[in-house]
Each structure stands twice: as structure tokens, then as C-alpha cells.
Structure 1
Amino acid sequence: MSDASSRDEASMEELREEVDAHWAKMKAIRLQQADRNESVMDSDFWRPVVMGFVGGSFIGTAVGLTEFLVNARKIAQKVGNAGVPRHLVNSCASKALACSGFFGVYQVTGTALDKFGILSEWSWENAAVSAAVAALPFLRNAASRANLPVFALLVAMERWDKYKVVQRMREEGIKVDTSTGALERV
């Protein structure tokens, strides 16, 4: 048993070293960007866009599965056990499509606003405008509006991630100007 625990400790230590190496690499990149007075996102447009569509579909699938499981008994009574798999697929697919569409458009809008110098991707205004633009198609009917809490969760998770990145950069001696997204050495 001690062999297994020592292996687990060794693998955790390796993982910590990999994470530390990743952060050291990211710090070096950010410091170079700060020296060139670039924004964090100056070098990449497609990464957040792809993350929006893919991440939204994963979250949507999980939400669809959860909603299906909550209502599984009612569905089975209504359509019979033979119809349950079809409803499972429909529930997961519809939520995945809705969340992927919302979060993808949210990321496209936010990244475009930053790229064209309208609003920094770090600002709350960017998040509000991007969320409003992405949510517009879902305001048409009650069934679509039922997705809005999930969309709010997606935006909150993305904002939390940005907050943690800014906090980590401050610890590394890098300041992010939230109005422009420019990096500066402290």
C-alpha cells in the first residue's frame, strides 16, 4: 500500500512540476508582451472562438443530460421505455447546440470588440455587450429563454477564469490595464 501512495505522491509532484513549468512559460510570454506593450490577446483570435463553441457544447451536453435525468421518470411514463433513448439524445443535442451557439457567438463578439479596439476583453462592459448580442436570438420564445440561466453560468465561469488569470499575473509582477488590455511590468 505504501508503494501505491508513494507512486501517487511522485505522480502528483510531476504534475506540479509540469504546471509550474507551464506558468513559467506563460509568464515569459506575458513579460515579452508587456515589453512590446501588447494586449494579452494580440497574438490569437481563434483560440477563444474555438473554446467558445467547444466548451459551450460540452457544458450544454452536461446540462441536457442533467435535465433528462431529472425528468426521466416523467418521460418514461409519457412515451414508454422505448422512447427514452430518443429523448435522451434530443435533450443533450438541443442543449449542446444552444450552449455552443451562445458561447461561440459570445466569444466571437468579445474577441472582435477587443481586436477592433472598441472594448478590452478584460472589461465587464465587453462581457455585458457580448452576452447581450449572443443572447438576442434566444429571447424569442419561452423555451429558448429557459436556457438563459445556463448562459449566465457560462459567462460567469469565463469571467472567473479571467479574474484568476489577472490575479496570477499580478502575483507575477505584471499589470493588466482592463480598459485597453495592455500589459505592463510592475
Structure 2
Amino acid sequence: MLKKVIATLSIIMLAGIQSPVMADNHGEPPVQDLENKFEELLFPETDGTKVTNYDSIHQLEEDLNSIMKFPLTDYYLEKYFYEKDGDLHIRAMDGAYLVDLEQDYTLEKLSDDHYRLTQNRSNQLRGEFTVQVDYSFEAGKWVFEDRMDVVGSQEGGELPNTATNMPLMMLSGGLLMAAGAFLIYRKRHTTE
């Protein structure tokens, strides 16, 4: 009896060891659905600057949190919306960069739960720019992790201004050391 129990446990253990654990494959993010929802939330119905389909910034915040991580939600709320006299308003400014779903874009898989969309665009107002959107699989659904744009060409261009005064300081130090060495040499040879 003991041999049968040990044999059964051994078979169960061996079967468990040889079953590889595979990461969940969440598929690709629903780009079109997320982009449509993003556009709907960032460009709501308005009467002048007053947003008509939300009573407060907190209601909009909840909807934005359903499609993006909260730091990104805070960024868009602070940049594009404000409350005045108990009403939600949209700032009169250029809107957020959007992905043009009618144009080509690349969707790169960075991991099973992280994808990056890149699209090169141009218009009269902004010139050439690149829209880059990161998606991550969080709490059982795809959300925006990051959205950014790069205006202008990404090739070449100027380097950032990172100049320091270190070369001048090094030269000054070298000259000071040379002057000190000259004075020591001169003192030794004048006393001899």
C-alpha cells in the first residue's frame, strides 16, 4: 500500500515538474478602441469652454483612469481641464496628439504585456512629428502607459547645451602647476 502511494505521488510530482508554466498571452492591445475612447474623453462635448457631458473633473478622472495609468491621467487633467464655479471647462489651447488610424503605424511588441505604437505624422501647424504610445496590460485590460510626441526630425540635429567650464578650469590648474614648478626650479638653481 505504501509503495502505491509513493508511486502515485512520484508520478504527480514528475508530471508537475515537466509542465512548463507559460506566461499569459494577452494578444495585442485594442488600438482602435483605446484611441477612440481617448479622443472622446480629451475632446468632450462643450458649450464654449464648458464641458457639457461631465459635471466634475472627478467624473472625467474616473473615465480617464479606465484607459490609462493615473500619472498620465493627472497630466491630461492638469494640462487640458479646469474647474470654475463648479463646472468643468476645457482650456482653449492646441489639443493632444492623436494617432491617425487611417494612416500607417507600427506596433512593436516589447513584452507580453507591453507594446509601443509609433506613427510619423505631419500637419501645417506642427510640421513633422512622431506620435509614440506605450500600452501595458494592467488589471486584466490594456491601458495607455505613456503617450508622447517628438516634434521635428529624430535624425541629427543639435546636441543639448551641456557645455561646462571644466576645460577652462583644467587649463587654469595646469598653468598654476607649471608656474609653481617654475618657481621651485628657479629657487633651487638660484641658491646653488
The TM-score range, normalised by the shorter chain, is: under 0.3
User: If the length of structure 1 is used for normalisation, what is the TM-score?
Assistant: 0.26
Higher strand share: 2
TM-score (norm 2): 0.26
Higher relative contact order (CA 8 A, sep 6+): 1
More helix by share: 1
